Chain A
Amino acid sequence: NAGVTQTPKFRVLKTGQSMTLLCAQDMNHEYMYWYRQDPGMGLRLIHYSVGEGTTAKGEVPDGYNVSRLKKQNFLLGLESAAPSQTSVYFCASRRRGPQETQYFGPGTRLLVL
């Protein structure tokens, strides 16, 4: 099992450009999450999904959109990138149930110029 994978690992964008980050998991997990990590702020939840076809806003959703068309994939989109979106993005997944462990991907480093 590959676990949670993220594509790409690193990307540089210009302000106003768009891009999509892909998260894939092969553990048949129902729940998937997108976080951003900034120095001194820990991880903040952007959006999450509790199942195929469903998404919900997290703590810092503005400027991002997500889609969960397939159970194993969770896409994070930036329609018009801003320098404030320079960050490291982590995807995570877990099974349904409050006592299930959350597994993290290796991260995507995004730089917006």
Chain B
Amino acid sequence: AQSVTQPDIHITVSEGASLELRCNYSYGATPYLFWYVQSPGQGLQLLLKYFSGDTLVQGIKGFEAEFKRSQSSFNLRKPSVHWSDAAEYFCAVLKNDMRFGAGTRLTVKP
């Protein structure tokens, strides 16, 4: 079955530390890939997206993601996390419609 997997339900990092959130997909061909962020009580905000071309994409708020076809992965990274990055992060794929992973909740320690 086609799916989007975020293996980490909850991650805690210290402020200033680097961050990597994992996302794997299982689709026959490369779908369009997205990362969204959701702050508590808010809707979803697009961080970045990948359609084709350069496999390293830059997004807002200092985030980037790398598409690796061989691993069917689209991991989100940030070199130095800020306290305001604490939120829930969703990976999503667009084939015929948009499908989301279950999300990873990020906690930032002072």
B28: Cβ under 8 A from any A Cβ: no
Task: A41 to B9: give the CA distance in the assembly, Å.
Answer: 10
A101: Cβ under 8 A from any B Cβ: yes
Asked whether A106 and B42 contact (CB < 8 A) given A40-B102, A42-B103, A101-B49, the answer is: yes
B98: Cβ under 8 A from any A Cβ: yes
Task: A35 to B6: give the CA distance in the assembly, Å.
Answer: 19
**Closest chain A residue to B31 by CB distance?**
A98
Q: How many residues of B contact A (CB 8 A)?
A: 24
A30 to nearest B CB, angstroms?
14
- List 9 additional A-B contacts (Cβ < 8 Å) besides A42-B102, A45-B97: A33-B97, A40-B9, A41-B102, A42-B6, A42-B103, A102-B34, A102-B46, A104-B45, A105-B43
A74: Cβ under 8 A from any B Cβ: no
Question: Taking beta carbons and an 8 Å cutoff, which residues of A are in contact with B?
Answer: 4, 33, 35, 40-45, 48, 58-59, 90, 92, 98-99, 101-102, 104-107
B59 to nearest A CB, angstroms?
12
Task: A58 to B97: give the CA distance in the assembly, Å.
Answer: 8
The B interface is mostly helix, strand or loop, or mixed, namely strand
Interface centre among A99, A102, A106 (most CB of B within 10 A): A102
Cβ-closest 9 pairs across A and B: A42-B100, A104-B43, A43-B100, A42-B102, A104-B44, A106-B43, A99-B51, A42-B103, A42-B101
Contact status A107-B43, CB under 8 Å: yes
Contact status B46-A101, CB under 8 Å: yes
B82: Cβ under 8 A from any A Cβ: no
CB-CB under 8 A from B46, the residues of chain A are: 101-102
Task: A107 to B43: give the CA distance in the assembly, Å.
Answer: 6
Task: A41 to B94: give the CA distance in the assembly, Å.
Answer: 17
